[in-house]
Amino acid sequence: MRTIIEPFRIKTVEPIRMTGREERRAILARADYNLFALQSDDVLIDLLTDSGTGAMSSNQWSGIMRGDESYAGSPSFARFETAVKGITGFEYVIPTHQGRAAERILFATLCKSGDTVPNNTHFDTTRANVEFTGARALDLVIPEGRQPQTQHPFKGNMDIGALEALIDQQGREKIPLIMLTVTNNSGGGQPVSMENIRAVSQLARSRDIPFYLDACRFAENAYFIKLREDGYGHKSAREIAQEMFSYADGCTMSAKKDGLANIGGFLCANDPALVQQQKELLILTEGFTTYGGLAGRDLEAIAVGLDEVLHEDYLNYRLASTRYLGEHIASAGVPIVQPPGGHAIYIDAQAMLPHIPPAQFPGQALVCELYLAGGIRSVEIGSVMFGRRDPDTGEETPADMELVRLALPRRVYTQSHIDYVVEVIQDVQQHKDDLQGLAITYQTPYLRHFTAKFAQLDSV
């Protein structure tokens, strides 16, 4: 059969509250044109993030009931640890309440002021946590990864030549670790090839630099390798994931992504001395080493989720449903990051709205319009998120790309929901020349996109 169906049935439903355009216009103004400030029941289709928004399976809900809430030594932790080790092969597993807590602990124990941490593309919290230690977060994705329209099977790959040049220029002691984000979220959800993971690993080992995976979407990355890289078509997603982790010295993970859970994360490593320091920090701010800020039931949901996420019927459906959205809006003439990524479709807002300059945030203008037109919540991944305002001159340094991300929660929306999204985007495409830019009226120094306030330019 050609039709790829959702490989699950629906057991519980959540009603969607319908809204009209005029109601949404008022809601948008009250939220200061920042969709992070919306109430979620004012949203029809919520594509803000795929993080923690997935639907859990009946097996995960059974795990929730099985959860053992003992403070120390819970069997739920043992099941969680076994599941993580079975995939990653790392010696030590530290549970955390989500991915950024793993990042904070990792960078706090490895980085200092003056250091540089290279990555294909740092995720926003990763960048912020690196910079918070005084170190510099540097993105070294291959040039194709910065060109939205260029086709390449592994646009998340690290530029190995640039990485080697950086190490030669800075010296090994200024580079406390090398990271690789699989898939490359901020770069369009694009995968990294096994060949590239191996090459980064070899370079890191030859220079004695620790190599970590930001593993949030390891299963989607593994399935892309299966589909696209020679020699992997006959291997299982689990075997491919195991090989990916085998080249690294540790990982950070948000279980809210490919853990198929609503909360959770972990940090893994092989170095016992480092792990000792990390556990001390964990106890200080997250919790004891067998729960790390999570309830026992959360550990159970993650343990089951890590198994389910590697089921190939699931991964096949997952990548097909993302591709479905991407191909339909692209064929209507909407410029998207090509090829479609794993968890999200990224609209190239700069190419779609060339009349709005980066300093007027074309991505944010599109995000607001998609909400107004159809109640769809998406997120800007451009100069609001990654641009910088000079505190003295007020001048804006734009991001490399002005993207709008439509992230697909796992196992949540059906094909007719997505058909509706396609229709709304096609409508917006018809009158795109009428869209106007925005100005920021309030912002914070770190992660400004979460709390910034905007005004429409015609009203300033």
Q: What does the binding site for ligand PLP look like in residue numbers (CB under 6 A)?
A: 51, 98-100, 123, 125-126, 181, 185, 214, 216, 254, 256-257, 265
Cβ 342 to ligand PLP, closest distance in Å? 11
Considering the complex, what minimum distance in angstroms separates the CB of residue 214 from ligand PLP?
5
Round to whole Å and give the CA distance between 272 and 292.
18
CA distances from 421 to 142, 212, 229, 375, 395 (A): 31, 36, 31, 9, 36
**222 phi and psi angles, rounded to 5 deg:** -60, -40
Residue closer to ligand PLP by CB (options 238, 405) is 405
Closest contact distance (angstroms) between CB of 100 and ligand PLP is: 3
Whichever of 24 and 410 has its CB closer to ligand PLP, that residue is 410
What are the helix (H) ranges across 171-295? Answer: 194-206, 218-228, 237-246, 272-285
Nearer to ligand PLP, 318 or 432 (CB): 318
CB atoms within 10 A of CB 261: 29
Distance between CA atoms of residues 223 and 2, nearest Å: 19
Q: Which long-range contacts (CB under 8 A, 24 or more apart) does 399-402 make?
A: 399/358, 400/146, 401/146, 401/148, 401/348, 401/350, 402/348, 402/349, 402/350, 402/358, 402/361, 402/362, 402/363
**Pairing verdict, β 250-254 and 211-214:** parallel
First to last CA, the chain: 55
CB of 431 to ligand PLP, least distance (A): 33
Handedness of CA 235, 86, 123, 341 (dihedral sign): positive
Least distance to ligand PLP from the beta carbon of 3, Å? 30
User: Least distance in Å: CB of 410 to ligand PLP?
Assistant: 13
Query: Which residue lies nearer to ligand PLP by CB, 178 or 356?
Result: 178
> Contact 370/439 with Cβ under 8 angstroms?
no
Give the residue with the Cβ less far from ligand PLP, 325 or 381.
Answer: 381
Question: CA–CA separation, 133 vs 267, rounded Å?
Answer: 18
Q: Which residue is nearest to ligand PLP (CB)?
A: 99
Residue 181 or 360: which CB sits closer to ligand PLP?
181
- The token pair at 172 is 């090994």
Dist CA 371 CA 375 (whole Å): 4
To 5 degrees, how large is the angle CA 433–CA 435–CA 437? Answer: 125
Residue with Cβ nearer ligand PLP (167 or 379)? 379
DSSP designation for 17: P
Q: How far is the CB of 208 from ligand PLP (least distance, A)?
A: 25
Min. distance of Cβ 406 from ligand PLP in angstroms? 15
Nearest approach, Cβ of 124 to ligand PLP (angstroms)? 8
Query: Smallest gap, in angstroms, from Cβ of residue 253 to ligand PLP?
Result: 8
Three-state SS string over 275-309 comes to: HHHHHHHHHHHCCCCCCCCCCHHHHHHHHHHHHHC
Structure tokens at 205: 């080992």
Which of 259, 252, 110, 269 is closest to 177 using CA atoms?
110
State the Cα–Cα distance between residues 124 and 128, nearest whole angstrom: 6
Residue number with CB closer to ligand PLP (52 or 398): 52
C-alpha distances (whole Å) from 239 to each of 226, 308, 354, 378 are 10, 14, 44, 34
